[in-house]
Structure formats: structure tokens, C-alpha cells
Amino acid sequence: MPQQALFRLPPMARGFHLITPLIERQLPPLPATGLLHLFILHTSAALTLNENADPSVRTDFGTTFDRLVPENAPHYTHTYEGPDDMPAHIKSALLGSSVTIPIRQHELLLGTWQGIYLCEFRNRAAGRQLAATILRA
């Protein structure tokens, strides 16, 4: 039987945040093998796996995404929630709302330099809610 937990991350500033330790603290004991599926219940933030050692990676992510999807573009029609809202939706669609991570020997099987990121695209967001589903192999 799968296990599922809902939990809320604290509010975080706009940017790319390593949340692996926050996630691990919220999870029940992991099985010997299986899968963890994480899903964010929001449309203006995303989850991804990437570099967990060099903080400049997070800066470069922010710079690149802001260039790809700028605020105040004249072609946006969904603008009533502020200039960061429509770009946040587009950025979250590019990265996605979930990640799936293998479980091995009761631990998340992440690569040496991999970490779980919350990609926060709003200037002032409340804490984000996540669903964690553990599938036992």
C-alpha cells in the first residue's frame, strides 16, 4: 500500500531553494526499496532535481529563467495578480510540478551532486504545500 503525506514548506523568497533536508524531515521511515513521488499543489512554483553543491547554480537558474520569461511582457493578458504572476505560471510549466526519486536502502537515491529544489517564482508567496507519495517495491 502506498503511503502519502501532505505538508507545507515555510515561505521562501523568490529563487531556487535546496529543500532536500526539509523534505527528508517530513517523510515517514522509508522502505528498503521503492519510489518517492513529490508533487507541489501550486501553479506558480515548481520542483526539480539539480546541483546541490555550488550556490552559483541557483543564481544562474534565476538569471536564465528571468531572461527566458520576463515580467511585464506586453503580450501577457493574465496580469491582474501582479507582474510576476504570469511569468511564474510559465516557468512552473517549463520545470514541472513533480519529481520522482528512487529509494534504496531506506534512503533517497540521489546522485552525488543532486538535490531537490523548490523553484519559487513569486515575489511574495506563502508557504507551499507538497504531497509525498511513497511506493514500496
Note the pLDDT tens digit of each residue in 27-70: 999 999 999 999 999 999 999 999 999 999 999 999 999 999 99
Mean pLDDT of 70-84: 94
pLDDT tens digit sequence for 101-111: 999 999 999 99
- What ranges do the domains of the chain cover? 3-136
Q: What number of CA atoms fall less than 13 Å from residue 56's CA on the CB side?
A: 0
Write down the pTM of the prediction.
0.95
Residue 77 binned pLDDT confidence (cut-offs 50, 70, 90) = very high
Which fold, 3-136? Answer: Jelly Rolls (2.60.120)
84-to-45, 67, 74, 121 alpha-carbon distances in Å: 11, 13, 13, 7
Within 8 A by CB and 6+ apart from 49, the residues are 99, 101, 110, 114, 115, 116, 117
Instruction: Supply the mean pLDDT for the chain.
Output: 96
Residue 5: pLDDT band with limits 50, 70, 90: very high
What is the structure's pLDDT at 1? 80
> What pLDDT shows up at residue 51?
95
